[in-house]
Amino acid sequence: MSAPDPHPSLRVVESCAVIAVLRAPTPELALQAIDTLIDVGINGIEVTFTTPDAPQVIAETIARHGNKACVGAGTVLTARQVGAAADAGARFLVSPGTEANLARAMTETGLLTMTGALTPTEVMLATSLGVDIIKIFPGSLGGASYLNSLRGPFPEARFMPTGGVTADNIGGWFASGAVAVGAGGELVPAAALKRNDMGDIADRAQLFVDALVACGKRGETP
């Protein structure tokens, strides 16, 4: 089963290489964390809808950083959230699973669309719905070797593992064929956000940037 034609924003996501999955308790902490990540060199930002006022955070990030950041919406669960994210200026949409009606609403926006899958059946469904990137979630269940196995029957599919991605194992994910990776708690821990510890987040972001350099996947300005 062939992958859909490349979306114009696909190159941008690939150049970012790491998409930071942000689940912040307040909009203010979300924006501080985003500023910190971008300053260090993590330019791919996924603002999840578990973050209060997620569309406003997306819009404010774009106002602050412009094309320096590639900002999208994550944990998209409803068509209403799809519309709100698109109106806020999101460049990509991410859902943790693949539900046909929701996936269609996402692709109809014309934005880069990523939906979650784990099994071959789910990968086939996502591909048939025209999803641009298949989010392997949770990636920690199978690891990089599982992604490598999936690429056997689906060589043209584009995969982005999320969940269990660390600075130490990121090279293995790319070696197994990931076009990008999503990093949540290992990059932006809930505890660091809660205590407003931007130094911890900056240190973690630097580890990811260093790991990208080591495996030949430098983050580039979109």
pLDDT in tens, 121-141: 999 999 999 999 999 999 999
- 194 annotated active-site: no
User: What CATH number is given to the structural domain containing 86?
Assistant: 3.20.20.70
Helix, strand, coil shares of the chain as percentages rounded to 5? 45, 15, 35
Please answer whether residues 13 and 5 qualify as being in contact, where contact means their C-beta atoms are separated by less than 8 angstroms.
no
Residue 165: which residues within 8 A CB-CB, separation 6 or more?
A: 139, 173, 181, 182, 183, 186
219 found inside a domain: no
Give me the number of domains the chain comprises. 1
Residue 2 inside a domain? The answer is: no
Residue 48 located in a structural domain? yes
User: What's the CA angle centered on 98, arms 129 and 14, to 5 degrees?
Assistant: 75
Neighbours of 191 (CB within 10 A): 9
pTM for the model stands at 0.93
Catalytic residue among 14, 60, 135, 217: 135
68-112 confidence digits (pLDDT tens): 999 999 999 999 999 999 999 999 999 999 999 999 999 999 999
CB 112 within 8 A of CB 72: yes
Q: How far is CA 25 from the centre of its chain?
A: 19
Give the model's pLDDT for residue 217.
84
Active-site residue (options: 14, 46, 60, 186): 46
198/188 Cα distance (integer angstroms): 9
Residue 98 domain-assigned? Answer: yes
Q: Does any domain span residue 5?
A: no
Within 10 angstroms of residue 163's Cβ, the number of other Cβ atoms is: 20
Residue 4 inside a domain? The answer is: no
Distances (CA, A) of 160 to 19, 139, 203, 207: 9, 9, 23, 19
Confidence of residue 6 (pLDDT cuts 50, 70, 90): confident
Range of the domain at 32: 10-213
**Residue 3 in domain:** no
Confirm whether 166 is domain-assigned.
yes
Farthest-apart Cα atoms in the chain, separation: 47
pLDDT score, position 1: 46
**Mean pLDDT within 174-187:** 96
Q: Is the pLDDT of residue 222 over 90?
A: no
Q: Where are the alpha helices (DSSP H) in the chain?
A: 10-16, 27-40, 54-65, 79-88, 100-108, 120-128, 143-150, 170-175, 190-194, 198-214
